[in-house]
Amino acid sequence: MLPYPNRTRSFLLSGLLLLLLLPPVSSFFGDAYLVSMFSRLLIYALAAASLDLIIGYGGMVSLGHAAFFGIGAYVVGILAWHSYASVPLLTWPLTLEGSESVLIVFPAAVLVSALFAAIIGFFSLRTRGMHFIMITLAFAQMLFFFFVSLEGYGGEDGLSLYARNQLSGVDLGDDTQFYYFCLGFLLLFLYLSQRLVNSRFGQVIQGIRENERRMLALGFPTFRYKLACFVIAGAGAGLAGALIANQSEYVSPGLMHWTRSGEILVMVLLGGLGTLFGPVLGAVVLLLMEEILASFTQYPMVLMGPFLILVVLFARGGLYELLIGRRKPGE
């Protein structure tokens, strides 16, 4: 068998090749739906990879990650709504107009979700373990009900977009171009995350996951590192949210429901904690299975449930480890 780094490299290269070739291949077979569906998979893969930063590397099990996903999506929805209605979002202390431009909307989505992550993280990171799970869940549900009650922006029904955001030189309304747009963001996020987990900051985060008490004794003010990690992950989820709003041209509170957080968590566990690429695989496999099973059963969970349990019980490293094997120390 190939040594671990080579196995990883060949897995990543073949995965990348498959994803790059998907649009031409599916258009050859005349199946346009596949491209649109895979855009959705890539977006969830991005959300799952961002969650892996806090769970897999930071050891902070959050059950409220979809909150930031939803916030990112609502930034797109709300800015678009104001742009259609030509009503400024804010008139005081400064005037903020709506927008449909990628260059304004996407940075805004990332910043606003990072801000929410900073606030939620500031309070919830004072707790650990089960308490942390519950408090992140509670914050996310609070946001869910807040948007349900926000009648001005569609309440429970959400908001529809007339079109995707605009970027000069690119037609995001075209499903193939939009697919590559999503793939670009996913690859960028994975690359940045890969740098991050191997940097000094990444080592600190993993040290905290392993033994926070020792980190404090060594002289690390752990809270601020955990918060920074939580904010980065929240920003990543916000970016995914901005993409999903564009993909489906629709935003609703359902995007931040706790079941969505659970689903993203399952993608991470299924793919493999603390592997970054595993959660991408997890997202693709989970959503593909849902898609396929839904075509011949009304209750896909009846078949998916046992599959998930088997993977979690017998392949603790997730599908990623199943596929490329375990890393031996020193490899």
Partner 1 sequence: MSCSSVGESRVSEDLLQVACLNKRFGALRASKDITFSVRQGEIHALIGPNGAGKTTLINQLSGELVPDSGTILFDNRDITRLSEHRRARLGLARSFQISSIFDRLTVQQNLALAIQAHQGHSFRFWARADRDPQLAGPTHAALQEIGLEARAGELALSLSHGEKRQLEVGMALAGRPKLLLLDEPMAGMGPGGTAQLSELTRSLKGTLSILLVEHDMDVIFALADRITVLIYGEVIATGTPSEIRANPDVQRAYLGGGE
Phi and psi at 275, nearest 5°, equal: -125, -10
Cβ–Cβ < 8 Å for 79, 99:
yes
216 binds partner 1 (CB under 8 A): yes
User: What one-character-per-residue DSSP string does 104-146 give?
Assistant: HHHHHHHHHHHHHHHHHHHHHTTS-HHHHHHHHHHHHHHHHHH
Nearest to 62 by CA among 138, 6, 118, 172: 138
| Tokens (6 digits) for 33 | 């739906």
Q: Kindly tell me which residue out of 2, 170, 210, 305 binds partner 1, with binding defined by CB under 8 A.
A: 210
How do 250-251 and 159-160 pair as beta strands? antiparallel
User: Shortest gap between Cβ of 232 and partner 1 (angstroms)?
Assistant: 9
Q: Kindly tell me which residue out of 85, 151, 200, 313 binds partner 1, with binding defined by CB under 8 A.
A: 200
202 binds partner 1 (CB under 8 A): yes
Using the minimum distance from each CB to partner 1, give the nearer residue, 158 or 236.
236
User: Shortest gap between Cβ of 34 and partner 1 (angstroms)?
Assistant: 36
User: Shortest gap between Cβ of 7 and partner 1 (angstroms)?
Assistant: 18
Paired residues of 90 in beta bridges: 96
Q: Kindly tell me which residue out of 12, 34, 187, 228 binds partner 1, with binding defined by CB under 8 A.
A: 228
243 binds partner 1 (CB under 8 A): no
Asked if the peptide bond before residue 93 counts as cis, ω within 30 degrees of 0, the response is yes
Which span sits near partner 1 by CB under 8 A: 91-99, 157-165, 208-216, 237-245?
A: 208-216
Report d(CA 287, CA 34) in Å as an integer.
Answer: 12
Which span sits near partner 1 by CB under 8 A: 5-13, 31-39, 203-211, 297-305?
A: 203-211
Which span sits near partner 1 by CB under 8 A: 70-78, 121-129, 199-207, 309-317?
A: 199-207
Report d(CA 35, CA 312) in Å as an integer.
Answer: 30
86 binds partner 1 (CB under 8 A): no
| Tokens (6 digits) for 111 | 């910043």
| Tokens (6 digits) for 116 | 């929410």
User: Shortest gap between Cβ of 219 and partner 1 (angstroms)?
Assistant: 3
Q: Kindly tell me which residue out of 217, 295, 298, 314 binds partner 1, with binding defined by CB under 8 A.
A: 217
Report d(CA 286, CA 66) in Å as an integer.
Answer: 17
Helix 175-198 vs helix 32-52: crossing angle, to nearest 10 = 20
Q: Kindly tell me which residue out of 134, 206, 249, 323 binds partner 1, with binding defined by CB under 8 A.
A: 206
Which secondary-structure segment (H or E) carries 40? helix 32-52
199 binds partner 1 (CB under 8 A): yes
Using the minimum distance from each CB to partner 1, give the nearer residue, 26 or 193.
193
Q: Kindly tell me which residue out of 115, 138, 222, 307 binds partner 1, with binding defined by CB under 8 A.
A: 222
Torsion of CA 327, 328, 329, 331, to 10 degrees: -70
198 binds partner 1 (CB under 8 A): yes
User: Shortest gap between Cβ of 206 and partner 1 (angstroms)?
Assistant: 6
Q: Which residues are at the interface with partner 1 (CB under 8 A)?
A: 195-196, 198-204, 206-207, 210-211, 213-222, 225, 228, 329-330
